[in-house]
Homo-oligomer: A and B are copies of this chain.
Amino acid sequence: MQQADYSSATVFVPGHITGFFSAQTAATCAQAGSRGAGIALTDGVEVTVTPGSGLQLNGEEIEMLPVGDVCTRLGVDAAVDATTSLPLGAGFGVSGALALGTALAANAVFDCGKSENELITMAHCAEVEAGTGLGDVVAQARGGLPIRIDPGSPSHGRVDGVAARPRIEYISFGEVSTETVLAGDTDDLTRAGESALSHLLERPTLSRFMTASREFADDAGLVTEEVATAIDAVAKADGDSGDDIDSSAAMAMLGNTVFATGTGLSAAGYDAQQCRVDAGGARLCDS
């Protein structure tokens, strides 16, 4: 068991909205994951680790398999205290953020001497093995608008990015179980995800990312009625506005959630949350 070097450490991990993805299996968890693209958000999760035990999110005790798994991999007894304004189970990567934040903070508290890639790999493997996510951790570690060209942790995967930093709005209508969707037949989803990625890589711009994300949600048959209504409303409001700001919307994977660029959702009359793209990725907060 490692001895504690600092009494506590706090890590910020951006939320991550996936626009489209395809599940990718492999022999090892470090090579498995997903291809796809998404957006890291300035709205995220703050994770504080101290020596001890237990996991609290917004003041309530919760169970989250990947968090305990990360502590086991590091060989530490950590108490994890996290806060976020993001909804759980709604496609914002909160479970990935908890796993990655725990890895980075516990490494500092217990002076584990791991590199960033080693810590990202631990959190990625913990998520993949628990079935709670496939690509959020890698994207949250990087920040920006990550394009996951090859699946897996940093030592295996290949990541590029869309060079844009738009304002983002989002609204969530409830949960979708990532575990249930990923445990079902994912053939259609994989085909749709591969097609969307090819489309984006032809011209990796923000507008192409939004179009590819909408096409993916349609092709994969995941669009809920509330999501479809909101996406249409954003398109109509954008057409009516006549201004220069290009707004469009898509569905967050996997959640009953819509995100939009610019002022898309508020212009369409929704009471949406507003944030920006987080350029930095997961990071230790200044002590």
Residues on A lying within 8 angstroms of B by beta carbon are 104, 107-108, 111, 113-119, 143-144, 147, 154-155, 158, 160-165, 167, 201, 203-205, 276, 279-281, 283-287
Contact B119 A163 (CB under 8 A): yes
Residues of B within 8 A of A283 (CB): 144, 165, 279
- Stoichiometry, as copies per complex, reads 2
CA A111 – CA B205 in complex, angstroms? Answer: 9
Decide if A286 touches B115 in the complex (CB within 8 Å): no
Is B280 touching A115 in the complex (CB atoms < 8 A)? no
A117 touching B165, Cβ below 8 Å: no
Do B161 and A113 have beta carbons less than 8 Å apart? Answer: no
Nearest 6 A/B pairs, CB to CB = A280-B280, A116-B161, A279-B283, A115-B204, A279-B280, A165-B284
Which of A116, A144, A281, A283 has most B Cβ within 10 Å? A116
Q: How far apart sit A147 and B107, CA to CA, in the bound complex (Å)?
A: 17
* Given A114-B163, A165-B284, 13 other A-B residues pairs in contact with their CB atoms under 8 A: A107-B163, A108-B164, A111-B205, A113-B203, A113-B204, A116-B144, A116-B163, A117-B161, A118-B160, A143-B281, A165-B285, A165-B287, A279-B281
In the assembled complex, how far is the CB of residue A253 from the closest CB belonging to chain B, in whole angstroms?
21
A-B pairs with beta carbons under 8 Å apart, 9 shown: A104-B163, A115-B162, A116-B162, A117-B161, A118-B160, A144-B283, A165-B285, A279-B281, A279-B283
Give the distance in Å from the alpha carbon of A89 to the alpha carbon of B113 in the complex: 33
Nearest CB in chain B: distance from A154 CB, A: 7
Given contacts A107-B163, A154-B160, A163-B107, contact A147 B115 (CB under 8 A): yes
Of listed A113, A163, A167, residue having the most chain B CB within 10 A: A163
> For residue A165, which residue of chain B has the nearest CB?
B284
- A49 smallest CB distance to B (angstroms): 13
Closest Cβ of chain B: how far from A224's Cβ, in Å?
Answer: 31
Evaluate contact between B165 and A286: CB separation under 8 angstroms: yes
Once the chains are docked, how many angstroms separate the CA of A280 from the CA of B203?
24
Indicate if the CB atoms of B204 and A164 lie closer than 8 Å: no
Query: Do A163 and B108 have beta carbons less than 8 Å apart?
Result: yes
Q: Which residue of B lies closest to A163 (CB)?
A: B116
Q: Which of B114, B116, B118, B163 contacts A284 (CB 8 A)?
A: B163
- A284: chain B residues at CB < 8 Å are 163-165
Name the residue on B nearest A280 (C-beta). Answer: B280
A113 touching B205 by the CB < 8 A rule?
yes
Closest to A276 in B: B286
In the assembled complex, the Cα of A205 lies from the Cα of B118 at a distance in Å of 12
* Chain B residues, Cβ within 8 Å of A117: 160-161
List the B side residues contacting A160 at CB < 8 Å: 115-118, 154
